[in-house]
Amino acid sequence: MRWRTLTRTALIVLITVLRSTADASDVRDSLRYLLESDATAEERASALCRLAQRNLDHDPLGALSYAANAVRFAEGTGDDALLHDALCAQRAVQFRLGLLPEHLTTTLRSLDIARKLSDQERLSADLHELAIAYQANGRHGKAVEQARLALAVATASNNAEAVARNQLFLLDALHRAGLHDEVVHGAEKALLHIAALPPLDQARLRQTIARALIAQRRFGDAIPYLAAAERILLDAGGPGDRFGLLLDQASLATGTGRFAEAQARIDTAATIPAGQGVEKKSVKLLQASHALAAARSDWPAAHAWLLRLQAARDSSNNALSDLALGGMQVVRELEAHEQEQQRLQLRADIAETELLDQKASYRLLLIAATLLLVMAIALGLLIRRARISARRSGLKSQVISRHKEEMAARNMELQRQNMRLAEALMREERQGLALGEMHHRLKNSLQAIDAVLQMQCGALSDPAARTMIREAQGRLRAMALLHAAIYRLGDDTAIPVGNHLEDLARLVLVANGRHDRISMNVDADTIRLHADELMPLSLIVNELLTNSLKHGIPTDAHGSIHIVLRAAGERLELRYSDDGKQDDSRSRAGSFGAELMRALAEQLNGEITTVDGMRRTTCLVMAPDSLGMRKAS
């Protein structure tokens, strides 16, 4: 075993040296040899990840097979960090093959693992990749959302370069989503962090800003950004950067009426090697030519370019479909191979089970023979003991008879007790039915009173009288709501105050038709009160809500109401506030509502005060009797 460990170590060192010399074939052979040896699952997963990365460009189908096996080995190790690396390798291959749904699924899985690891760098990278996945699926709004999250995570990690890169990506996502105004507005913030980026990325940032300005037809503003990007992209950029720069310059020239220059830029861009993105570059060239022809008002040429553009898009889509089908075939072959391995493993398990069963049978035969011998000896002893037991059975039968008589007497007593218990249960059930009927009739009576008040309100022409009847209806509904809570929980059960106040506030807002314009926030400690204490509190809150809707917040305006209930030592404190207007009519002394709230507060051993400020606040400090009893207990 020791020489095998030394061999694996030497192979890993050899792979590292070969990678530094960029000999891809030797790296692949060494990794395959390592996979065929008795290497650990961690070593195999790491080796397969490197193979997938090496073969991504020239053999993506093979890279998909390596990545899928890397995920399988990593899942068996229980190492979340290694599994995350394997999933990253797999999603890179899936994106390259155009397996967009599979790429999105793998990215979401790696994002869950990054959250489990609490690794900010992995989390930011996964959110970045998720935005790319949404872009590829045409969901640009979701891509912008994930790009914003990636920028927020990078900002929290205090990594200046990561922040700058994510800002660059966010601007590109906004541009692809057509949100050009946000690109321009976010450009100043992005330029503050531009020093953390390499010069090439700085140029790409300015190029993105220029594209957004061109899309807004602000050609004069786009010229300095594109000129600054040109100096770096021509020197340090790759063929793709130069290609994009030429097309941006062509768009700028087309927008400013310099058609000859635009045609020259397009012709120069066509001479740049396309590499792997030949279909996409061809489509972009045709789009630029179509835009130029349309700007010249050369409609026959524009139509011809449009037909060629559609044909190129169809060809690109067919090529992506073929590549995706190849990837799906690889996935199916991997699944078939795994199923075959499972079948072989099942056969081996069955054979092993049969062998174990045969061994168990032999052991059972030996045990049976031993048991027969023991049983023969035991049988002789049992015959001897049977004679002794026969003499004892007579005595036992007498004892059993006496026990049976005693058990019969006890059973009779138990039956009588069960009958008395059944009668008590029936009486209790009848009482419960009577109580339920009483609650139901009370509920119907309250509803009938509410309906009568509603009919009388409709027949009145005096606004003051109608207002008084509506206020009476509100108080009646508050009492009905409390009655429903009592019926639901039981007469002697304390009712949660916070939930009851939320239901009461919702009922008042819906009854007045204001629930869609006024937001309600109830913040209450875990406090329970009995019905005789919750009734005056409910009526006080009902009066405050009615007062806010009537005098504080205008009917056609939006507003908010806050209710806070806290335990303050031996007392309870209720704070009610709204953002309505300050009006003396809301707290007019001698009004029925004010007198009613004062009387109800006295029932709770409390006092009501009002404070005017940015928000009008009414404070009720009370000491219900049941609260003192709970403190004492």
User: What per-residue confidence (pLDDT) applies to 127?
Assistant: 81
Of 54-68, 375-389, 522-536, the poorest mean pLDDT is in: 54-68
List all residues 6 or more positions away from 74 whose beta carbon is below 8 Å from its beta carbon.
Answer: 41, 42, 45, 82, 83, 85, 86
Report the pLDDT averaged over residues 282-293: 76
Higher pLDDT, residue 41 or 601 = 601
pLDDT attached to residue 569 = 79
> 3-class SS at 608?
strand
Inter-residue contact 51 to 28 (CB < 8 Å): yes
Sign of the CA dihedral with 23 first, then 97, 266, and 183 last = negative
pLDDT at 563: 93
pLDDT band, very low/low/confident/very high, at 262 (cuts 50, 70, 90) = confident
Q: Which pLDDT does position 214 carry in this prediction?
A: 80
- Average pLDDT over every residue of 308-326: 57
| pLDDT tens digits for range 15-35 | 444 444 444 454 555 555 455
Sketch out the chain's domains with CATH numbers.
1-99 (1.25.40), 119-228 (1.25.40.10), 462-632 (3.30.565.10)
Confidence at residue 574, expressed as pLDDT on a 0 to 100 scale: 92
257: left (phi over 0), alpha (psi -120 to 50) or beta: left
**Region 92-98 average pLDDT:** 79
Say which range, 65-69, 221-225, 281-285, 333-337, has the weakest mean pLDDT.
333-337
Please compute the mean of the pLDDT values over residues 404-417 and round it to a whole number.
Answer: 84
Q: How far apart are CA 2 and CA 8, in angstroms?
A: 10
Q: Name the residue with higher pLDDT: 61 or 547.
A: 547
b/e burial code for range 452-489 (CB count within 10 A of at least 16 → b): eeeeebeeeeeeeeeeebbbebbbbbbebbbbebbbee
Tell me the per-residue pLDDT of 462-519, one tens digit each, with 9 for 90 and over. Answer: 776 776 776 676 667 666 766 666 666 555 567 888 888 888 888 888 888 888 888 8
Higher pLDDT, 32 or 284: 284
Cα–Cα distance list, 564 to 143, 214, 476, 526 (Å): 40, 53, 24, 12
Over residues 108-122, the mean pLDDT reads 83
Q: Under DSSP, is residue 11 helix (H, G, I), strand (E, B) or coil?
A: helix
Q: Is 321 a residue whose pLDDT tops 50?
A: yes
In the structure encoding, which two tokens stand for residue 166, read together? 């994510």
DSSP, collapsed to helix, strand or coil, labels residue 88 as helix
Q: Binning pLDDT at 50, 70 and 90, where does residue 315 land?
A: low
Reply yes or no on whether the pLDDT at 589 is more than 60.
Answer: no
| C-alpha–C-alpha distance, residues 121 and 115, integer Å | 11
φ/ψ of residue 357, rounded to 5 = -65, -40
| Alpha-carbon span 89 to 108, nearest angstrom | 14
Q: Which of 208-222, 388-402, 502-516, 583-597 has the lowest mean pLDDT?
A: 583-597
Determine which helix (DSSP H) or strand (DSSP E) holds 68, and give its type and residue range.
helix 60-77
Q: Under DSSP, is residue 445 helix (H, G, I), strand (E, B) or coil?
A: helix
What percent of the chain has pLDDT above 70? Answer: 70
> Which ranges constitute the DSSP H helices of 460-529?
463-489, 497-511
Least confident piece of the model among 9-18, 50-59, 178-187: 9-18
DSSP string across 228-269? HHHHHHHHH--HHHHHHHHHHHHHHHHHTT-HHHHHHHHHHH
Spatial neighbors of 625 by CB under 8 A, at least 6 apart, are 533, 605
Rounded Cα gap, residues 66 and 86, in angstroms: 10
Q: Where do we find the tokens 């990636």? A: 150
Range with the poorest average pLDDT among 24-38, 510-524, 590-604: 24-38
pLDDT by residue (tens digit) across 238-251? 777 778 888 888 88
d(CA 212, CA 174): 9
Average pLDDT over residues 439-468: 67
Residue 9 pLDDT class (50, 70, 90 cuts)? very low
Residue 10, pLDDT score: 44
Rounded to two decimals, the pTM is 0.39
The neighbour count for residue 358, using CB atoms within 10 Å, is 10
Q: How far apart are CA 591 and CA 569, in angstroms?
A: 32
- Check residue 23 and give its pLDDT: 46
Average pLDDT over residues 355-382: 85
Contacts from 26-32 at CB under 8 Å and sequence distance 24+?
27/54, 28/54, 28/55
Please answer whether residues 128 and 154 qualify as being in contact, where contact means their C-beta atoms are separated by less than 8 angstroms. no
430 vs 164, 486, 487, 489, CA distance in Å?
76, 19, 17, 19
Q: What is the pLDDT of residue 248?
A: 81
* Per-residue pLDDT at 5 exceeds 60: no
**506 near 522, Cβ under 8 Å?**
no
SS3 622: strand
Report whether pLDDT(252) > 50: yes
Residue 474 CB partners (closer than 8 Å, separation 6+) = 508, 511, 542, 545, 546
Q: Is 513 helix (H, G, I), strand (E, B) or coil?
A: coil
Lowest mean pLDDT among 140-144, 220-224, 447-451, 560-564: 447-451
Q: Facing residues of 572 across strands?
A: 567, 622
- DSSP state letter for 515: T
| pLDDT range class, residue 396, cuts 50, 70, 90 | confident
In this predicted structure, the answer to whether residue 632 has a pLDDT above a threshold of 70 is: no
How far is CA 453 from each of CA 331, 447, 550, rounded to the nearest angstrom? 72, 10, 19
Side-chain-side CA neighbours of 361 within 13 Å: the count stands at 6
Beta carbons of 571 and 621 less than 8 angstroms apart: yes
What per-residue confidence (pLDDT) applies to 564? 93
Distance CA 149, CA 510 (A): 37
